[in-house]
Structure 1
Amino acid sequence: MDWLHLIILSLVQGITEFLPISSSAHLILPSQVLGWPDQGQAFDVAVHVGTLLAVLICFRHEVIATTRGWLAHVFRRQVSAESRLGWAIIIGTLPAGIIGLLLEDYIEQYTRSMLFIAATTIIFGLLLWYADVKGRRVAEMDQLTWKSALIIGFAQALALIPGTSRSGITMTAALLLGFTRQTAARFSFLLSIPLILAAGGLKAVELAQSGEAAPWNDIFIGAALSFVAAFLCIKLFLKALDALGMLPFVIYRLLLGVTLLFIAL
């Protein structure tokens, strides 16, 4: 893989994975707009590893506490806020996992055009703005129920469509349910862990089954760059979220969507 492509795509993946602007759209577009070749399975594995490490380190205390609480509930029937959060993450993960397995081929075939991505970028950007403006923004993490987790989980399944943004649509759903911006963002990031782990593992298996020699230099560099970009992005996003709200990301999505429409038409 060309070094320039590797560096740019790794940084783009790390920056866009957790911002509500769609990482999948940004990774698909270089091949269609700039004529870049497909980044390949090794790159996909690398950036998944990098972004997974970033979110795990940023939320290490929550991950450890939630895991312990969930295990305590499973084996000792001890109910706690942490155990409820653990079950909420599991429930919220199921819709995207099941729907992804059933419809992956259809989605790959029919939803990756530039015109389609432009439309979803604009539509879901406007929906994010509506949720941020109209949401009550009062509920905290301890008010998360299995029903709200399931609703957010079905919203997350929409992120299988390029241009939607996994973080964007889950935050949108959480805001519409009345959660605060911080809770919406933090639950979205925690909810990303199982999916990133599953997607990265699947890509690793595909790479191993392909019989191709693993380009370890590309993997290490891609993982490192995406890790740094994702780590800084999460920290800065959470720090600035309450002051800025979602409007800057909505404006970016609208500008990007209009630009893509202009190119596509």
Structure 2
Amino acid sequence: MVRVNDVTILAAATDAAAASPDQMSWLQVIVLSIVQGVTEFLPVSSSGHLRIVSELFWGVDAGASFTAVVQLGTELAVLVFFARDIWQILTGWFRGLFDKERRGFHYRMGWMVIVGTIPVAVLGFFGRDLIREGLRNLWITATVLVLFSFVFILAEKMGKKDRNFDELTMKDAVVMGLAQCLALIPGVSRSGGTVSAGLFLNLDREVATRFSFLLAIPAVLASGLFSLPDAFAPQAGQSATALQLLAGTGVTFILGYISIAWLLKFVAHHSFSWFAAYRIPVGLLVMGLLAFGVLQPV
């Protein structure tokens, strides 16, 4: 015969194991981390996909802070994958900073990454409340998924794609840095925005993609570290434990590394328009689900 105390203890344990509306479950953390790791570097918008998947399967928005923190895993993947390039840029920048005679390409590249990061840093800091709440409406995400796809197609058609990595200029950094600001809107895609800008500037597709990765490092690292406290007790969205965030970051690192390697091989021989062919049906599908009440916009 089961005693009342036993039932009470069992019920309490069951409640503790289940996630509350404000607390992410382990299944949710793992699934969303997989989505983040796979989509972060593809021009399909990882933040948009996280928003859609979270709403579709759990009926809630995991929140921009969770996204920013697990992005640290994908940025760690960038640091490892481009370790040699990053080391050359850092050492070249520091050498040139103190010795005018040693101001070569890597010194200039260091300044290009710094200057290109400023727009998204300023906009991300002062617009953080809008980013965490106002821009996360699924109607916005779905619309942007569709509309920005045509930017990919136009960039591919108009760009000559005849400029190499050593031909990058400060103008390229500024334009691509401004384009990176569009990634603050779920549905645009950081790589999609910056690479499209690079193609409009006639950069080779692979060159634009590689510089896009380098340009994202300071912004995403700063965003993740800045959002870390809020991920435990978010103003909007759900909270996650330290162990959940650590596990999610590990998953995004592994899948992010694989995603980088795949994308660089893909863009060497294929158009970015292929991603538009994926984004448009997804955006239209989300619109349909919103229209029929299957998904809630906020």
Residue 66 of structure 1 corresponds to which residue in structure 2?
Answer: 89
Cα deviation, 1:67-108, whole Å, max 9, x if unaligned, reads: 001111112222111111111111110011111222232344
Instruction: Name the TM-score, length of structure 2 as normaliser.
Output: 0.82
Q: Is the contact made by 1:12 and 1:23 (CA closer than 8 Å) also made in structure 2?
A: yes
Contact 1:42–1:215 (CA under 8 A) maintained in structure 2? no
Range with bigger deviation, 217-226 or 121-130? 217-226
- Distance in 2 between residues matched to 1:113 and 1:45, nearest whole Å: 17
55-64 or 1-10: which moved more?
A: 1-10
Aligned residue type for 2:255: A
Q: CA RMSD in A?
A: 2.1
The one-letter code of the counterpart of 1:255 is P
Q: Retained in 2: the 8 A contact 1:41–1:206?
A: no
Counterpart-to-counterpart distance in 2, 1:207 and 1:115: 24
Distance 1:40 1:137, change over 3 A: closer
Of residues 75-84 and 163-172 in structure 1, the stretch that sits farther from structure 2 once superposed is 75-84
Q: Confirm or deny: 8 A CA contact 2:65 2:132 kept in the other structure.
A: no
Residue segments in structure 1 that go unaligned for 5+ positions in a row: none
SS at match of 2:278: helix
Contact 1:55 1:231 in 2 (8 A): yes
- Is the CA contact (8 Å cut-off) linking 2:63 and 2:132 kept in structure 1? no
Alignment-derived partner of residue 98 in structure 2: 75
**Percent of counterpart pairs with the same letter?**
36
Structure 2, unaligned runs of 5 or more? 1-23, 292-298
* Aligned with 1:154 (options 165, 175, 178): 178
Whichever residue aligns with residue 159 of structure 1, its letter is: A
Q: Does 1:127 align with 2:151?
A: yes
Show CA shifts across 1:110-159 (max 9, x none). Answer: 32211111111111111011101221001112111111210111111111
Does the CA-based 8 Å contact 1:135-1:178 persist in structure 2?
Answer: yes
The answer (yes or no) to whether the contact 2:37–2:256 under 8 Å persists in 1 is yes
Which contiguous aligned blocks of 4+ residues in structure 1 show a shift greater than 6 angstroms?
none
2:261 — aligned with what? 235
- Compare the two structures and name the one with the higher helix fraction: 1
Instruction: Tell me which structure has the larger Cα radius of gyration.
Output: 2
Determine helix, strand or coil for the equivalent of 2:136: coil
Is 1:20 matched up with 2:51?
no
Trace 1:1-265 onto structure 2 (pairs within 5 A).
1-39=24-62, 43-44=66-67, 46-77=69-100, 78-207=102-231, 215-265=241-291
Is the 1:23–1:165 Cα contact (8 Å) retained in structure 2? yes
With structure 1 as the length reference, what TM-score do the two structures score? 0.92
Deviates more, 1:150-159 or 1:107-116: 107-116
- Distance 1:204-1:103 versus aligned 2 partners, 3 A rule: closer
Residues 72 and 173 of structure 1, relative CA distance in 2, 3 Å threshold: same
Q: Distance in 1 between matches of 2:241 and 2:138?
A: 30
Q: Deviations over 1:149-201 (max 9, x none)?
A: 10111111111111111110000000000000110100000111101110111
Number of aligned residue pairs: give it. Answer: 263
Q: Which letter maps to 1:72?
A: R
Q: Distance in 2 between matches of 1:112 and 1:40?
A: 9
Q: CA deviation at 1:16?
A: 1.2
Please tell me whether the aligned partners of residues 66 and 240 of structure 2 are also in contact (alpha carbons under 8 angstroms).
no
Letter in 2 for 1:120: V
Residue identity in the other structure for 2:207: T
Q: Is this contact kept in 2: 1:138–1:179, CA < 8 A?
A: yes
2:219 partner amino acid:
L
Task: Give the direction of change, closer, same or farther, for the CA distance of 1:38–1:231 in structure 2 (3 Å limit).
Answer: same
- 1:74 aligns to what SS in structure 2? helix
Separation of aligned partners in 2, 1:118 and 1:228: 28
Letter in 2 for 1:243: H
Give the letter aligned to residue 98 of structure 1.
Answer: V
The answer on whether the counterparts of 1:170 and 1:188 sit within 8 Å (CA) in structure 2 is yes
Contact 2:47/2:67, CA 8 A, preserved across alignment = no
